[in-house]
A and B are shown apart, each in its own frame.
Chain A
Amino acid sequence: MYVTDQELPEAALKRESERRMILEPQQQSSPINVPDAHLYSSYAPVPGIYDEMMDSQGALRPHWQMFLNLLDDLGPAKLHHRWETARQLIHDNGVTYNVYGDPAGMDRPWHLDSLPVLFSAAEWADLQAGVAQRARLLDAILADLYGPQRMLAEKIIPAELVFGHGLFLRPLHGVAVPGLRRLHSYAADVGRGPDGRFVVLMDRTQAPSGTGYTLENRMVISRALPDVFRDCRVSRLATFFRRFRETLKSLSNRENPRIVLLTPGPYNETYFEHAYLARYLGYTLVEGADLIVRDNYVYLKMLGGLQRVDVILRRQDDDFCDPLELRADSALGIPGLVQAVYSGNVAVANALGSGLAEIPALMMFLPALCRRLLDEDLMLSSVHSFWCGNMQARQYVLDNLSRMVIKPAFLGGRDKPVFARNLSHEALESLRAGILAAPCNFVGEHYVELSTAPVLMGDHVEPRHLVLRLHATCGDDGYSVMPGALARFSGSADSMIVSMQRGGGSKDAWILSDGPVDAFSFLQPAGQPVPISRAGGDLPSRVADNLFWLGRYEERAQANARLARGIVIRLMDQNFDSTAELPTLFSALAKQTMYVAPEGQPVSAEVKLVEILLRNPHANGFPATLQSIYRIAALVRDRMSLDIWRIINRLDEDFPGADKTDPALLDLLPALDRLIITFAAFDGLAMESMTRGYAWRFLDIGRRIERAIGTLTLLAETLVPVVDREGPLLESVLEIADSIITYRRRYTTNLQIPPVLDMLLADESNPRSAAFQLVRLQEHLALLVANGGAAGLSAPERIVLRLLTDMRLADFTALGGIETNDRRNRREHLGRLLAIWIDELRMLSDVISREYLVHITESRQLGFQPAGAVAPGIDSQPLGIHTPRAGG
């Protein structure tokens, strides 16, 4: 109830800030470097609230003792250093949480507190048993509602809870599920009240998120505090994930089932987690468009053809999963998926339709349902919850309205709680009227004074309210609960609202073990030996497409940066006797980045460079290109090593954004230098650390095409127009094309056009030449199987061969010469040839897309066909005239 992914009510915000001001004097604390001071010396829990570390007498709880001693031993300086390391690790790993509807909110960094929160083995055991029972209960409820519906007939579950909203998916009723379970994962948001007892605030059955963040938190904290972590004997998480993996595997009869993780895409708030989990669990990360249903089976579109999918771990809401039988307006779905599920040819986890069990209205009925369905008492209570569709409950809520938290009854995950005690009199009355108008749509809950835990604030710790998300997964012997949790805390001591978006953060939760710790890790799998394999595996077509464009954008940005650096160096160097080549270089940069100069007064060269480089709004402009690299890299994150991802992350810092004040040339040069080195690091890692599979090939194909286009464009812009003194211009072209050293060694300082053309176009030993790129492309293309697999050269291979032959045959002495009768003072032959080659390369890009990447066509809804139009009667014809009506 206090966990919200939405905006806070304004009143709550106001109240929060007022109270914070009052509390401020209490938050003063002694600095950490006082000798013998403990980290927690100044810690003052909120009176009347349960604190996880200190009891009401101010004494440390026993299970924290050892941990705190170990921290003291470490000492403040070392501790501080460790915190910094942890923070860096989170940044480097790119842990993020997206915020819907916030333009700047993509990829907000994940805020992790450096101190874990600790639980003793004994208190955890009870909680664990309670969560496991609850998972079993919710699964049994789903089994009933999607089966015999006895709970409806017996009126234990009111009909409104099933039919009064859209979460009951009729097409899934009566459809068998493998293993007879619908919930393969379940999460509970749990809080602890002042009496020290845990209560469930919210159930998550649709597509519970948080396991990936829990894992990431654990990796960061255990790396920052390895010795402390070991000595405290913290229960490990890996066993839980092994179990989860076994469960998913058991959903298919095939020996080596293909399991995919279905994500709604990178705009989803927890996309980071989807990519992270897919990599950790070894599943392919897919979007709806990657999958297709044929013969009632689900297939993944791969470069090598269609691959059967056996199990779908979905992180997408179930009603979006099939536009044919579920939400017709879903663009994310897989048409025919329900039919494939119905046929038993694919398993979906959690089962389609399981979102029904997380509606807040259900909570009030759980104790009775537990007795009826499991013949047990509910071990772990929910927050006191009152569904207003029930007359007594409604009366209670209305009588005590100002003390209640009001939530929508059916929305589940996306609820917006209203804290009635923060409302003005008018707002309260309008809430009352709203409840009376549609009582079934509201749930009232008691307010829980959540427990607090110490959170590090600078050099001291302060109490913050805590909500834990516990995860359960099923196995052959029932549900088991992860010995760990995603702990989230509020933004201030007086706010009960725990949200990642409101200054709150997360913590690792350590469950201390009584006995030895199971040291299982995924990296050393127990059991059967793994057969040795060198296959990199096939690649989803969409991923290949993304890698291809990542390669193109990366190379494009690199070319822009090199050219810009060439310009900056010339602008800054006072010793240049002439800057005659500058206008040419400027126009080349403008052309490369599609910059259109605004009409008006002339500007200084400096301002012009900043304009072209940083303020260009065009989609091919430098800022947009850098952004595209970041965006696409995020899409294929699960395909890249962490090191490559770290480099991508650095691009952002390396370069001053357009929002900053104009950088001076002096700052621009080192920034461009850093950027070029970062790109070199990216290229190097891509060459040295990626296996030579499809992923690497498509990345490289993109780079090669773009580099060839870049070199040709540079030559077309600089060497086609004839200028007076070509020496300095040729030198800068060679420098920008990174070939100056080789040229000097071959020709010393004798700068002439034909050898420059040869070196940058046809010299197959120069890694910057166009021909070099074509030779690489030839190698790549020969190893790809074109669609259809016909004999002979594929269409892309033909284009490459034609281009390469043209370049090999070109007469650069003639092309470099100037036709005396040309009044426009241009090397027209060269210009025409370069233009043709550039066009051919662009065509090559399209043909490759068509041949290998695009069986990704959008599917469309064939409109409902309307019932026909039967006219009302004219007097003599009581039954009227028929008019057939076209559908569509």
Chain B
Amino acid sequence: MPVYRIKHVTRYRYEQPVTICHHIAHLLPREAARHVWSSADLDIFPTAMRTDRFDYFGNRQTFFSIQEPHRELLVTSRGEVEILAPATGMLFSNQPWEQARDNLRNMSTPDFAGVIQFTFESVKIAQTAEAAQYAAASFTAGRPAIEAVEDLMRRIHQEFKFDTCATTVATSVAEVFRDRRGVCQDFAHLGIACLRSMGLAARYVSGYLLTDAPPGRPRMVGVDASHAWLSVYVPESGWLDFDPTNNMTPGDRHITIAYGRDFSDVSPLRGVILGGGNHAVHVSVDVTAV
């Protein structure tokens, strides 16, 4: 099964010295089905005061603070992972989506709270009538849940244009609906908003995607970016991933790092700094098949 090597570098340069900074990184991989990590490290330069912990969703998060004046911050994560093939004979449920929705609420597994929390609106995904309306076309009465989600994914892929300039990190779901364009993060948020409006549990997955070079050109190093897709809970099958940006079910090219209610729960790196003036940031992600 494929083995990938990942290198994710984030470099901040500041015009003025930063006297102190506090950051939280979601860059080390969490446990995920079919993922076997043989190594995973995080380097921070300059030397930082660092604490690794698990967040509420079970993701690995790294809190770090640099307490000396600095004009540059360099955060590098490296890892090697093998993605296993899906277990054979896995059952895909034909459960109608209404039943999936209702069963969710009557679950008596110990993980009830862990699942049900993903049915509610979150910081970056407000509940809107628009999302419910858009989703309704896919969620016709009695339709199997998985089929309905696949249909929703296909429609998002067809009706929304991929455009790296149209949106920013702060773009809301409502704006994506209005402009009909965005990037992976926007499409994941949009899909989640639709699924939650139907009463289903849906979460945001942050990770990487191995991409092939355009035909006839060498594969470039460092152009890959972090990727995002969504996951929906169907009681008989568990969590199932869908990538609306590429209209596909993640197989052996998607690498999961973290998941949460939306981007803000799992942003790869964020922080609060004192001083610094203007800053420039450069991110490079490199995923290679070994």
Interface residue ranges, A against B (CB under 8 Å):
149, 152-153, 159-160, 162-164, 166, 170-171, 173-174, 292-296, 323-325, 328, 335-336, 339, 342-343, 857-873, 876-888
- Closest residue on chain A to residue B109 by CB atoms: A153
Contact A163 B263, CB 8 Å, known A171-B55, A171-B56: no
Say yes or no: B223 contacts A857, CB within 8 Å.
no
Of A159, A324, A870, which one neighbours B225 at CB under 8 angstroms? A870
Q: Which of B79-87, B140-148, B265-273 contacts A (4 or more CB under 8 A)?
A: B265-273
Q: Which residues 245-270 in B have Cβ within 8 Å of A in the complex?
A: 245-248, 253, 263-265, 267-270
Of B228, B270, B276, which one neighbours A864 at CB under 8 angstroms? B270
Q: Which residues 273-290 in B have Cβ within 8 Å of A in the complex?
A: 273-276, 279-285
Of A152, A171, A867, which one neighbours B112 at CB under 8 angstroms? A152
Complex formed: what's the CA distance from A251 to B162 in Å? Answer: 53
- Closest residue on chain A to residue B264 by CB atoms: A864
Contact A881 B120, CB 8 Å, known A153-B110, A324-B22, A867-B206: no
Min CB distance A2 to B, Å, is 30
Question: Which residues of chain B are near A171, meaning CB under 8 Å?
Answer: 55-56
Contact A864 B263, CB 8 Å, known A857-B19, A870-B209, A888-B281: yes
Question: Contact string, B112-141, partner A, CB cutoff 8 A, digits 1/0?
Answer: 110011011001000000000000000000
Of B51, B120, B161, B224, which one neighbours A339 at CB under 8 angstroms? B51
Of B56, B157, B211, B263, which one neighbours A866 at CB under 8 angstroms? B263
Complex formed: what's the CA distance from A858 to B18 in Å? Answer: 12
Min CB distance A220 to B, Å, is 43
Question: Which residues of chain A are near B247, meaning CB under 8 Å?
Answer: 872-873
Residue total for B at the interface (Cβ-Cβ under 8 A): 76
Say yes or no: B55 contacts A335, CB within 8 Å.
no
**A-B residue pairs in contact (CB < 8 Å), sample of 30:** A153-B112, A153-B113, A159-B117, A159-B120, A173-B56, A324-B23, A328-B270, A336-B63, A336-B65, A336-B272, A343-B51, A858-B274, A860-B272, A861-B270, A861-B271, A862-B273, A863-B270, A864-B170, A865-B283, A866-B183, A867-B185, A868-B226, A870-B227, A872-B246, A873-B246, A883-B164, A884-B283, A887-B10, A887-B169, A887-B281
Question: Which residues of chain A are near B55, meaning CB under 8 Å?
Answer: 170-171
Min CB distance A794 to B, Å, is 21
Of A323, A869, A877, which one neighbours B162 at CB under 8 angstroms? A869
Complex formed: what's the CA distance from A868 to B287 in Å? Answer: 13
Min CB distance A440 to B, Å, is 10
Question: Which residues of chain B are near A342, meaning CB under 8 Å?
Answer: 51, 53
Question: Which residues of chain A are near B157, meaning CB under 8 Å?
Answer: 872
Min CB distance B220 to A, Å, is 9
Say yes or no: B169 contacts A876, CB within 8 Å.
no
The answer to whether the Cβ of B24 comes within 8 Å of any Cβ in the partner chain is yes
Question: Which residues of chain A are near B188, meaning CB under 8 Å?
Answer: 867
The answer to whether the Cβ of B20 comes within 8 Å of any Cβ in the partner chain is yes
The answer to whether the Cβ of B15 comes within 8 Å of any Cβ in the partner chain is no
The answer to whether the Cβ of B32 comes within 8 Å of any Cβ in the partner chain is no
Complex formed: what's the CA distance from A885 to B185 in Å? Answer: 12
Of B245, B269, B281, which one neighbours A870 at CB under 8 angstroms? B245
Complex formed: what's the CA distance from A647 to B184 in Å? Answer: 63
Question: Contact string, B47-60, partner A, CB cutoff 8 A, digits 1/0?
Answer: 00101010111000
Question: Which residues of chain A are near B185, meaning CB under 8 Å?
Answer: 866-867
Q: Which residues 1-49 in B have Cβ within 8 Å of A in the complex?
A: 10, 12, 19-24, 49
Min CB distance B134 to A, Å, is 18
Say yes or no: A867 contacts B226, CB within 8 Å.
yes
Complex formed: what's the CA distance from A174 to B113 in Å? Answer: 14
Question: Which residues of chain B are near A324, meaning CB under 8 Å?
Answer: 22-24, 270-272
The answer to whether the Cβ of B103 comes within 8 Å of any Cβ in the partner chain is no
Question: Which residues of chain A are near B51, meaning CB under 8 Å?
Answer: 296, 339, 342-343
Complex formed: what's the CA distance from A872 to B53 in Å? Answer: 35
Min CB distance A577 to B, Å, is 63
Min CB distance B240 to A, Å, is 20
| Known contacts A868-B184, A873-B247, A887-B283, then 13 further A-B pairs from the complex at CB < 8 Å, ordered by chain A residue | A152-B113, A293-B22, A294-B20, A296-B49, A324-B24, A858-B274, A864-B170, A867-B185, A867-B188, A868-B225, A869-B162, A879-B246, A884-B223
